[in-house]
Every structure is written in C-alpha cells, then in structure tokens.
Amino acid sequence: MSSSLEITAEIISIGDELLIGQTMNTNAGWMGEQLSLIGIRPVRVRVIGDDREAILTALSTSTADVVLLTGGLGPTKDDITKQVLCEFFDTRLVRHPHIEAAIAGFFRSIAREPLDVNLAQADLPESCTVVPNDRGTASGMWFGKESRVFVSMPGVPYEMKAMMEKHVLPELRRVFNPPSIVHRTLLTTGLGESHLAQRIAAWEDSLAQEGIKLAYLPSPGLVKLRLSTYANNDPTGARDRVAQKAEQLYRLIPELIFGEGEERLELVVGRLLKENGQTLSTAESCTGGYVSHLITSVPGSSAYFIGGVVSYANAVKMEELGIPSDMLELNGAVSQPVVERMAQGVRQALKTDWSIALSGVAGPDGGTDEKPVGTVWMAVAGPDGVQAAKVYLPGTRDLVIKRSALAVLNMLRKSLLIRDLGKS
Amino acid sequence: MSSSLEITAEIISIGDELLIGQTMNTNAGWMGEQLSLIGIRPVRVRVIGDDREAILTALSTSTADVVLLTGGLGPTKDDITKQVLCEFFDTRLVRHPHIEAAIAGFFRSIAREPLDVNLAQADLPESCTVVPNDRGTASGMWFGKESRVFVSMPGVPYEMKAMMEKHVLPELRRVFNPPSIVHRTLLTTGLGESHLAQRIAAWEDSLAQEGIKLAYLPSPGLVKLRLSTYANNDPTGARDRVAQKAEQLYRLIPELIFGEGEERLELVVGRLLKENGQTLSTAESCTGGYVSHLITSVPGSSAYFIGGVVSYANAVKMEELGIPSDMLELNGAVSQPVVERMAQGVRQALKTDWSIALSGVAGPDGGTDEKPVGTVWMAVAGPDGVQAAKVYLPGTRDLVIKRSALAVLNMLRKSLLIRDLGKS
C-alpha cells in the first residue's frame, strides 16, 4: 500500500483515562489530519496506559519516520513519559533555569506559589531539543535518532495543538521536506453524499487526468468535498489546477456550495447580514431553539440577530406570531400557510429585515402517513415577501433537528445572495 | 502495574479514515469503558489502516486475553478484515445460507435488489462462531485461540454497540468470569471538580476502608462521581456498601446531585414537570436558544414545554417580555431586576406554571470590570413567585453558554423539588 518514498508517522497516545473511555482521544485524529495535510502519512495510532513497559514497547516497536507522543507530562507521579524517554534514549534529566523561571512566573501571575513538583517540569532530557509550550508548563521534547524523529507533547489538546501548529509541523516539513500537497475543501449542504456523487459524477471523472484526488467527508446535514494534489516542484501550477476544478464545481452546483475550509453556515449567513446592515429573527417549532442557538454561537451575532420565538405549543403560534386558529385547524401546524405566517409574524413583531421559520415533525412520535417523522416546512421572509419549502429529512430526533436547521440557514443564505445579485 | 489475575483486553480499530482524522474514533473509548465496567482491563488500543500487513502484525503481536477488532467488514474492496482473519486463523470463508437470506430480505424491505457484493457478506470464516448483527448486514466473528478470544465487529458505532451489549459483553463475562464490579455513578452540577473534591474530602477518605474507589469524571458544567468496588463473592454486600456511601453523599451535597447513571438534567426537569402536570416557558438572552434546545431535545417535551422567547436585542426584552425601558437603562440588561422581569414576562405571556430566564455576558466581547465575560443572571418564576441568582462561569463563549444553561436547569430542578416537598 505505501510507497517507499512516503514519509510515515505513528502516534502514541499515553494515558490510563483514554483506555477506559474517561477521556475521548480527540488528539490522535486531529494529529493524523494535520500530518496528512502536509504530506506525511499516518500509519498507526497506539493508545497505552501510563505504564513504563507499555511505553518502552511502543517506542521500540515503532518503525515510522515520525513518532509523535502525547500525554504523561503532567506534574503528578502517574506522569512518567519523561523518565521513560530518558531510559529509551539513554540520557538524563537536567534542569533548565529559564524554563523554571517561566513556570514560577506563571504561578505568581495567578497568585500562587509553585510547588516543587511544578518546578520539576523544568527538568528535561539532556539530549532532546526543547519544544516551547506557549499555553502551559509542560515543555515538548524533540529527539532525532538515525534519520527518524520522536516528539513528545502534552496531552491537553489546547496545548498540543498550539505546539504542533507553531513548532512541530513546520519543523517536520523542514526536516523531511515531504511531497507538498495542495488542498481545497468546498462545503456543501442540501444533498446527501450519494446523490451529490451522482450529480457531479462526470466532473469527478475529469479529476484523474489533472492528478487531483477527491474525498467526500460527510457529517449531519453537510458534505465536505476535499480536492488535493501533489504540488511537486510547481505549487503555483498545482494551485491553479485545483482552482480550475473548484471553479467548475461552483458553476455545476452553485446552490449547494456555501463556503470553504473551516467556514460554517451560520458564519456565512451572519457575514452576509452584517455586510448589508440587515437584521434577522427566528420562529422555531420543531427545532426548538437550535437554529437560534447556532446563529448566536457566532461572536458578535448581536449586531444582526434581534431575537426569536420558540413556538412549541399552538397557543404560542397564535398569540405571539398572530396565526389564526382556523388556519392551524385547517392545515395543521406543519403546513405551508402556517410556516409562512410564522415567518411573517416574527418579522413584524421583532421588526427585522429578514426572518426564518420552521415547523416539522422531529419525532420519534407524532408522525402520520401524510406527514411522517422528518417532514419539515421552512420559510424565509424578507423585504421581497415570503417563500416556503418542504423538506423530508428522516432520522433520529437529533438528526431531524440538526439537518433542518442547516436547511433553513441555507435557504436564507440563498435568499440573501439573490437579493444581493438583484441590487448589483 | 497489572496483577496476573486480571483479564486484559486490546482493541484494534481498522480503517484508513480513522488514521487521517476523517472519522473520529469514538468506538475505542466506548469499548474500553464497557470492558472496564465488567472487570476486564483495557491495556492497549491500536488504530491501523485497511492494510493486510498492518492487520496481521497487530493480531500476531497482541498479547491480551481479549482482542476486539472493529472495522473493515463492509462490502467494498477496501474491506479486507475478514480475509486477513482467515489467513491468521488458517481457515476459509464459507457461505451461510440463512445469513444470505437475511441480507436479501433486508434489501428487498427497502425495495432494492442485493448485489453480489452485498450477498458476499454472508461469507464468513469456517472456524469462527458468528455473532449476529441486529442492525446491519455485517456479521461479527468470535474466534477462540489457546484460552484467548478474538472478536471482529463492524465499525459502524450503532451496529457495534448493539452487538457488544447483546452478545459480546455477556459472552465475555461467561467465558472469563472476571471479578465482578459494582458501580454507581452520581451526577453533580454546580461546583467545579477541585471545589467539589475539597467539599467531600472527608467522605472520600472514608471510602478506602470500605474498599470503594472514587473517580471524578468532569465535563462542561458537570462532574460525574463514579463509585466502584469488587463484588467478590458477595454482590449484595458490595451493592449495600456502595449504597451506604452514596446515601451519605446525598446527605452531604443534596443540592449538587441531580441524578445517576445516564440521566441528563433536561430529562430530570422534564420528568418532574410531567409528574406534576405543569408547564414551562423560557426567556433567553446570552444562551440564545440553547436552553430551549436542550429542553426540546427530549422526546415528548411538547407535553410540558410551551415555548420561549430569545430576547437578544433590548427591544425584544421590552416589547415581548414587558420590560420597562428605564429598568434596562438603570440596571443594564445583565441584572437582577431585568432577569426577574424576563421570567415573569414570559410566564405571563405564554401562561405557563414555570418559567426560566437568563441574561449574561457570553463574550468574547462585551465584558466590563463590573460584569466580566461569564457573568450570568438567571431566574426561575413559578407559582410562588420569582427568584434570581448570579453566577460567574468564565470561559469561551461556548462554555459560558453550556454551563449557564445547566446552571439554570439545576435552579429550576431545585425549585420543583422544594415545591414538591412543601406539598407532601
């Protein structure tokens, strides 16, 4: 499977709490992703306890070019990684005075005196290169051994990630000069993985001749499309090739792509509203506040989000949103007239430029033959009136809520874009 | 570290997508937890790709009593686990007609014809005991080898978990008869891990003489306290010992314990409301709909949750919740009078028995010296009037939102319980 030219990596996660499921091992997946993004292939992850023999076995049976360890660098007596590394690399701990001073300074900054065990974090193996920890007191350690590299980092994700991004990944690129890879990730919503694949099949077939690979990365309500190619000695050419294919995809499925990279739909919508100086309100039934939670999870969202109504009972739909009782009786709460009136009602009540509304059957109970669980009516009201759409997104209660929230945010995004186009 | 009497386990997770971080490996942690709950000690996890040599190496270098494999059992050509197991155990695939019939039946039930690759999932190693998959088409495989056990299961969490709970864990207990462990997990909220530990220090010291261990399992806004002890030959006695200590803890921190096991605060609150035939509404500012999302994530919550208002802008607080503008100007939105009026306003408007309200500074901006980020006022209004409390829960925006949501649900829970006590 692996070519002999590939640079390989192995991750060793150390900690009893990982083995017994007390702490989820999120580090290994993140590190694997980061390594593969710079062209180093992760081939194995091992999770072991804070146990001398287990650590020694893992170190001595590793064969990858790069071995990254996390965990076991804390100040308590279970944390033995540093001692075991000394044993494996046949070196000894030495005190680093400037690190000791930094640790003491950190503790005084939070008005505490450092204990001896805290200062002992400045004891580091003599033969390693110290990797600075900008977010904590446990330093990283970089060991070279016969053209291979071993790096030990703290297990706290926030500290490890900063250390990887700032020091370890750049240094690995410098040392191994892995075949550079150009990536671009387009974010889509509105079509499931298999239907999306069908829709873009011809385009996907055309990627091979450009040496571009495509990965589908699905999550509830979203499919990320990751394009990647080797840059070889022509990074500009590689970027251009990927850009050309991305451009074709934008023309092919413009309504499905909402952003790139780490973008989220609620950020995109927020940015569009902010750019236009416009405001938003929400009226939610089946999603029960989840849409407004997504919107307000964005820092600064108070600039455009005015508020919302969660109208779980029909009485609230009538009183707060001005929906006539005969409309509810005639059509049922999950219907086009009701969801349109919900959107218009909240837009008027909260005096916003835009509003969104949802009414659906989240389940597990309440489904009928005509309106099974997963049936959701959604509406967007704006300066040009109101429009509604029905979607069918079956699944667990949690999935119905999450997928319909993304669907209505995407509907709003399209309405905002169309109006922008109309103005220009 | 390990006693020779202990039953040990190793988990081998197979899948390229796990190595490069496309899919988070949630299986290994869950399996480790389940194994430790029945008294089997997980000593190592390995994550490897869909690669013959890697799988053979992992199998042949495993030393644990129990080896659990997941992944690589799908119908596509990357899925090679079954073939490699045949090689390792020196056996061959044979077609199981009743499994083939079940697969064909499954496809016809969703109006599709099974392909040959689908039916080939009925080919299983001759020497294994087939483990039924109640939720999918990939069967599990149980191999015995020199008093050790190897079990291969699908990687889809939903399928693997059902297979573990229904078949694999009971059978492992039967075969290995591990030292039986009695567990009880008490769920607390309202105090961080270190303060909680300080508060219950004397009680914790008393556990050792009863042979009971305590684990702190913290997550945002919650600390789970897990009590465990070996049952030896007296499970009733062990349960009694744990029950006695749990009882002491209930008396020591009654206001902090909200449930046990897999309970969630929104379920507890929902059950209390339902038992009393009472209703609830919400008025949220800083939490932006998250509290109402938690409440409505519970199936059947429409029986007691009437609706809510997300009052992000002050105009909404005034208009929808009837808060006088001079009250807002005088005290600011994050204040006791405003949050009390929010709770009373929504309770009146939506005609509910109970209501909760929050107003705070979620950050990252908007904090002041007087009201720094993490300052949250919360209120509960009910048949006996309204009460408010201020909490300071610093952290990221996401953490402030999640922790204050749990804080207000806990405040409601206590109000519901006190009123119940008053009635009886």
User: Which of A13, A267, A293, A342 to mutate to probe the B interface, most B CBs <10 Å?
Assistant: A293
**In terms of domains, do A286 and A221 share one?**
no
B397 interfacial to chain A (CB closer than 8 Å): yes
Residue of B nearest to A14 (CA): B44
Mean pLDDT of B253-258: 92
> Which CATH number is A374's domain given?
3.90.950.20
A16 and A142 both lie in a single domain: yes
> Rounded to the nearest 5°, which phi and psi values hold at B400?
-60, -45
* Pair A125, A92: CB distance under 8 Å: yes
Asked whether the predicted pLDDT for residue B1 surpasses 50, the reply is no
Q: How far is CA A143 from the centre of its chain?
A: 31
Q: Classify residue A1: in a domain, yes or no.
A: no
At residue B239, the pLDDT reads 94
Q: Please state the separation of Cα A286 from the chain's center in Å.
A: 25
Are both A375 and A283 inside the same structural domain? Answer: yes
pLDDT band for position B112 (50/70/90)?
confident
Q: What are phi and psi of A107, to 5 degrees?
A: -65, -40
**Please, which residues 349-378 of chain A have a Cβ atom closer than 8 Å to chain B?**
349-351, 362-365
| Residue in A19, A30, A312 nearest the CB of B43 | A19
> Could you tell me if A250 and A153 lie in one domain?
no
Q: What's the pLDDT score for residue B3?
A: 45
In the listed set B120, B145, B176, which residue is the last one of a domain according to the structure? Answer: B176
Share of chain B above pLDDT 70, in %: 99
Query: Is 90 exceeded by the pLDDT of residue A120?
Result: yes
- Bridge-based pairing of strands A66-70 and A7-14 is parallel
Q: Which of the listed residues A242, A260, A278 is the one where a domain comes to its end?
A: A260
Model confidence at A3: pLDDT above 50: no
Tokens of A95: 């005190």
Q: Looking at residue B317, what is its pLDDT? A: 84
What length is written for chain B? Answer: 424
Q: What are phi and psi of B266, to 5 degrees?
A: -65, -25
* pTM confidence score: 0.82
B161-186 burial code (b ≥16 CB/10 A, e <16):
bbbbeebbbeebeeebebebbbbbbb
Q: Per the domain annotation, does B220 fall within a domain?
A: yes
Give dist(CA B198, CA A191) in Å, integer.
52
Structure tokens at A153: 């980092």
Per DSSP (E only), the strands in A189-253 are 213-219, 222-230
CA distances to A423, B30, B155 from B163, in Å = 58, 13, 11
For chain A, what is the domain count? 3
Name which residue leads in pLDDT, A233 or B378.
Answer: B378
Tokens of A366: 């309440």
Residues of B with Cβ-Cβ distance to A25 under 8 angstroms? 25, 28-29, 45
Q: Is residue A349 located within the same domain as residue A230?
A: no
Beta strands in A204-304 (DSSP E): 213-219, 222-230, 257-260, 280-284
Look at the block and give the residue holding tokens 């995407």.
Answer: A410
Which pLDDT band, with edges at 50, 70 and 90, does A351 fall under?
A: very high
Element (H, E) at A40: strand A40-48
**Contacts (Cβ under 8 Å, ≥6 apart) of A3:** none
Residue at token pair 């580091």 = A124
CB pair distance less than 8 Å for A48 and B49:
no
Are A360 and A415 members of one domain? yes
Structure tokens at B136: 């999918």
Type of residue found at A252: L
Which range, of B146-160, B193-207, B280-294, averages the lowest pLDDT?
A: B193-207
Percentage, residues of chain B above pLDDT 90 = 75
Q: Closest chain B residue to A291 measured between Cα atoms?
A: B289
The closest alpha carbon to A358, from A298, A312, A415, A316, belongs to: A312
Opening angle at CA A98, ends A97 and A103, nearest 5: 95
Q: Which residues, 6+ apart, have CB-to-CB distance to B270 below 8 Å?
A: B295, B298, B300, B301, B304, B305
Residue B128 C-alpha from the chain's centroid: 33
Q: Are B187 and B257 in contact (CB under 8 A)?
A: yes
Whether B1 maps to a domain, the answer reads no
Quick check: A1 pLDDT over 60? no
- Interface contact B32-A19, CB threshold 8 A: yes
Same domain, B323 and B415: yes
How many angstroms away from the CA of B193 is the closest CA of chain A? 14
Q: Mark which residues 273-292 of A lie under 8 Å from B by CB.
A: 282, 284, 287-292
Residue appearing with tokens 């769920």: B187
pLDDT-derived band at B292, boundaries 50, 70, 90: very high
Burial category of A402 from C-beta neighbours within 10 Å (exposed 0-12, middle 13-18, buried 19 and up): buried
Residue A90 has pLDDT above 50, yes or no: yes
Query: In this predicted structure, what is the pLDDT of residue B310?
Result: 96
- Provide the CATH number for the domain around residue A235: 3.30.70.2860
Q: Which residue type occupies B239?
A: R
A95 inside domain: yes
* Span of B40-44, B106-110, B151-155, B182-186 with lowest mean pLDDT: B106-110
Instruction: State whether A15 and A161 are in the same domain.
Output: yes
| CB-closest option in B44, B307, B315 to A313 | B307
Band (A333; pLDDT cuts 50, 70, 90):
very high
Look at residue A2 and tell me if it is in a domain: no
Q: Is B384 exposed, middle or buried (0-12, 13-18, 19+ CB in 10 A)?
A: exposed
SS3 for B215-281 is: EEEEECCEEEEEEEEECCCCHHHHHHHHHHHHHHHHHHCCCCEEEECCCCHHHHHHHHHHHHCCCEE
SS3 assignment for chain B: CCCCCCEEEEEEEECHHHHCCCCCCHHHHHHHHHHHHCCEEEEEEEEECCCHHHHHHHHHHCCCCEEEEECCCCCCCCCCHHHHHHHHHCCCEEECHHHHHHHHHHHHHCCCCCCHHHHHHHEEECCCEEECCCCCCCCEEEEEECCEEEEEECCCHHHHHHHHHHHHHHHHHHHHCCCCEEEEEEEEECCCHHHHHHHCHHHHHCCHHHCCEEEEEEECCEEEEEEEEECCCCHHHHHHHHHHHHHHHHHHCCCCEEEECCCCHHHHHHHHHHHHCCCEEEEECCCCCHHHHHHHCCCCHHHCEEEEEEECCHHHHHHHHCCCHHHHHHHCCCCHHHHHHHHHHHHHHHCCCEEEEEEECCCCCCCCCCCCCCEEEEEEEECCEEEEEEEECCCCHHHHHHHHHHHHHHHHHHHHHHHHHHHC
Average pLDDT, chain B: 92
> Which of residues A260, A291, A310 is at a domain's end?
A260
Average the pLDDT over A225-230 and give the result. Answer: 90
**A271 or B107, which is more confident?**
A271
Minimum mean pLDDT range among A271-280, A326-335, B310-319: B310-319
Q: Is A213 among the domain residues? A: yes
Please count the residue pairs, one from chain A and one from chain B, whose beta carbons lie less than 8 angstroms apart: 223
Quickly list DSSP for A180-193: PEEEEEEEE-SS-H
* Residue A421: C-alpha distances to residues A254, A304, A415, B71, B96 (Å): 14, 20, 10, 48, 60
Question: Given this model, what pLDDT does residue B2 score?
Answer: 40
Q: Give me the phi and psi of B224, to 5 degrees please.
A: -90, 140
- Name chain A contacts of B316, Cβ cutoff 8 Å: 306-307, 350
Answer yes or no: is B236 within a domain: yes
Q: Coil, strand or helix: which one is A256?
A: coil
Are residues A24 and A105 located together in one domain of the fold? yes
Nearest-CA distance B359 → chain A (Å): 13
Three-state secondary structure call for residue A399:
helix
Residue A93 in contact with partner chain B when CB distance is under 8 A: no
Contact between B304 and B394 under an 8 Å Cβ cutoff? The reply is no
* Comparison of pLDDT for B190 and B132, the residue scoring more: B132
Q: One-letter amino acid identity for A204?
A: E
- Predicted local confidence at residue A424, as pLDDT: 60
Q: Which residues contact A211 (CB under 8 A, 6 or more apart)?
A: A229, A230, A241
Beta bridge partners of A144: A149
Q: Which domain holds residue A243?
A: 181-260
Which residue in A141, A54, A51, A132 sits closest to A94, CA to CA?
A141
The 3-state DSSP class for residue A126 equals coil
* Residue B91 clears pLDDT 90, i.e. is over it: yes
- According to DSSP, the residues that pair with B142 across neighbouring strands are B129, B151
Structure tokens at A235: 């990074």
Q: List B123's β-bridge partners, or say none.
A: B95
Give the integer Cα–Cα distance in Å for A340 and A283. Answer: 10
pLDDT score, position B424:
60
pLDDT, tens digit (0-9, with 9 covering 90-100), for B36-51 = 989 899 999 999 999 9
Q: Can you give the CATH number for the domain in which A150 is found?
A: 3.40.980.10
Q: Are residues B314 and B418 in the same domain?
A: yes
Question: Mean pLDDT over residues B167-172, rounded?
Answer: 97
Name the closest residue on chain B to residue A305, using Cα atoms.
Answer: B312
The complex's ipTM works out to: 0.81
Nearest to A173 by CA among A1, A10, A3, A9: A9
Q: Do B217 and A363 touch (CB under 8 A)?
A: no
Rounded mean pLDDT, A257-286: 95
Residues B28 and B124 grouped into a single domain: yes
Helix (H) or strand (E) holding A310, with range, is strand A305-311
Q: Which segment of A205-219, B81-95, B325-339 scores lowest on mean pLDDT?
A: A205-219
CA atoms within 13 Å, Cβ hemisphere of B387: 11
Residue B4 has pLDDT above 60, yes or no: no
By Cβ distance, the residue of A25, A45, A302 closest to B29 is A25
Please list the residues that pair with A124 across neighbouring strands. Answer: A94
Per-residue pLDDT of A362-419, as tens digits, reads: 999 999 999 999 999 999 999 999 999 999 988 889 989 999 999 999 999 999 998 8
- Look at the block and give the residue holding tokens 């596509």: B76
Check B48 against A43: CB less than 8 A apart.
Answer: yes
**Higher pLDDT pick, B399 / B284:** B284
| Burial of residue B218 (number of CB atoms within 10 Å: 0-12, 13-18, 19+) | middle
* Cβ contact B312–A316 (<8 Å): no
- Chain B residues whose CB is inside 8 A of the A302 CB are 312-313
Task: Please state, in angstroms and rounded to a whole number, the distance separating the CA atoms of residues B222 and B263.
Answer: 12
The strand ranges marked E within A53-160 are 66-70, 93-95, 123-125, 129-131, 140-145, 148-153
Q: What is the mean pLDDT of residues B205-228?
A: 88
| A31 lies within 8 A of chain B by CB | yes
Whether B185 and B143 map to the same domain: the answer is no
Whether B2 is covered by a domain: the verdict is no
CA distance A308 to chain B (A): 5
